[in-house]
Amino acid sequence: MKKVRIGVFGLYRGTSMINYCMAADHAQVVAICDKWEEGIARKKAQLNDDSIAFYTSFDEFIQHDMDAVVLANYANEHAPFAIRCLKAGKHVFSEVLPVQTMKEAVELVECVEQTGKIYAYGENYCYMPGPYEMRKLYREGKIGEFEYGEGEYIHNCEPIWPSITYGDPDHWRNLMYATYYCTHSLGPLVHITGLRPVSVVGFESGKVERKLRCGDRSGLFGIEMVTFENGAIAKSIHGWLYKNSIWYTVYGSKGRMETAREDAKTGDVSRIYVNADAYSGEYGEEKLEVYSPQNAHTGDAQSFGHGGSDFYSMYNFIEKILGNENADTIDIYEALDMCLPGIFAYRSVLNGGIPMEIPNLRDKAVREQYRNDTMCSDPKAAGDQLIPSFSKGNAEIPREVYDRMREKWLKEFEENSGYTRAAYTQGSNENEG
């Protein structure tokens, strides 16, 4: 079997993809790059594989002989590196998010179109057992036409904040606004229905102590109320509320389906519930189905991150490169359908909560309106269009907060414990048992 030669840019998040490539029959990891020299040295010693080249310079990495690149670097930098990879003739698998500005969105869309290379967006929650089964059922007409949905990604990140921000005041996570990271909550609804979001109203919570003591400048959570092209409405919520929860529900003209919440009594977060009208076009006796969906690779996927969904997103990407037209990848247009509602939800917040139209960058005429739009909360990308991370202005956070975060991360790294260890073992044999 032909193996696709993969380079991985970004060690931390990239570990799951590295381990996938090393275990898969249709792929092999040939190069790994990260600017963090100590991390590269540790990974090189850990893998002990002379067939893999290691780099701390992206300029050198991109010249390596490989077919595709996994972008697992900082989320706010995916677009510029994706463009460089595509122009270098490499297929691209991009971790979330795809872009942070509309200027980047326009440039990335055009680069994908011009190069003809495969761009796959790694919105892994679309591939979790529950949402993925719901997509299949929806496409089969099980619940009729989409009318209303909710997506919920609640993750109180305070315990892991030191290990994902490293005490860096300018880390993208410390700079992002509340609606920025909507892709885990909204993305599966887009992928299930295949419908495009057309407008959004955004909401931002207030700041709370647990965010400030971590060095995060944004509100506690964000909400996007999204209208889809068929008139359906969805609520997307994500952020730092107390109890972690991943949950999706879809109401249709003939029924409804939803995933189990994390604290479901069944203890089975992959379980789904389907209520469907027993009669097409009539209101007869409804049927309730409750089950845990299975697929061909369930066993292989279990040790991989995010409920095994990391496995499926990579599997489909490799299959697409190998010519499998049925491989379920998320292309650049769908990726932006998942991401842009978050960008424009915050513009809604900044403008007093008014509805905002979500641009359709499939339309070349629309692109011209946003070609020079760099509005974001990252000073390096925004230029003179910088916006605050919180609508009422950025909080002043003492330097000692970030020093404390860095000390906690370094301790975890040296002890090979906590989230740091977990991140480095996703999909590895070390994670078995």
**Could you tell me where the beta strands, DSSP code E, fall in 38-123?**
53-55, 68-71, 91-94, 119-121
Chain centre distance of CA 432? 25
- Decide if pLDDT at 110 tops 50: yes
CATH code at 125-305+330-385: 3.30.360.10
Residue type, 234: A
- Decide if pLDDT at 280 tops 70: no
Let me know: does 427 contact 311? Beta carbons within 8 Å: yes
Mean pLDDT of 15-36: 94
Angle at which helix 11-23 crosses helix 309-321, to 10 degrees, equals 60
Q: How far apart are CA 403 and CA 258, in angstroms?
A: 42
Q: How far apart are CA 144 and CA 129, in angstroms?
A: 21
Q: How far apart are CA 417 and CA 194, in angstroms?
A: 41
Of 124 and 424, the one with more pLDDT: 124
Which of 357, 180, 148 is closest to 255 using CA atoms? 148
Of 353 and 302, the one with more pLDDT: 353
| Residue 88 Cα distances to 62, 91, 376, 408, angstroms | 7, 9, 27, 39
Give the residue extent of every domain in the chain: 4-123+420-431, 125-305+330-385
What per-residue confidence (pLDDT) applies to 433? 31
Q: How far apart are CA 171 and CA 176, in angstroms?
A: 9
Mean pLDDT of 83-92: 98
- Decide if pLDDT at 284 tops 60: no
The band of 303, judged by pLDDT with boundaries at 50, 70 and 90, is low
What per-residue confidence (pLDDT) applies to 424? 67
Let me know: does 303 contact 427? Beta carbons within 8 Å: yes
The band of 297, judged by pLDDT with boundaries at 50, 70 and 90, is low
CATH homologous superfamily for the domain 4-123+420-431: NAD(P)-binding Rossmann-like Domain (3.40.50.720)
The band of 269, judged by pLDDT with boundaries at 50, 70 and 90, is low
* Residues 398-413: tens digit of each pLDDT: 999 999 999 999 999 8
* Residues 26-38: tens digit of each pLDDT: 999 999 999 999 9
Let me know: does 125 contact 238? Beta carbons within 8 Å: no
* Residues 339-357: tens digit of each pLDDT: 999 999 999 999 999 999 9
- Angle, CA 12 vertex, CA 56 and CA 33 arms, to 5°: 20
Phi first, then psi: what are they for 346, rounded to 5°?
-70, -35
pTM score of the predicted model: 0.94
Q: How far apart are CA 37 and CA 292, in angstroms?
A: 43
Supply the mean pLDDT for the chain.
Answer: 92
Residue type, 293: P
Q: Which two tokens stand for residue 112?
A: 């994908």
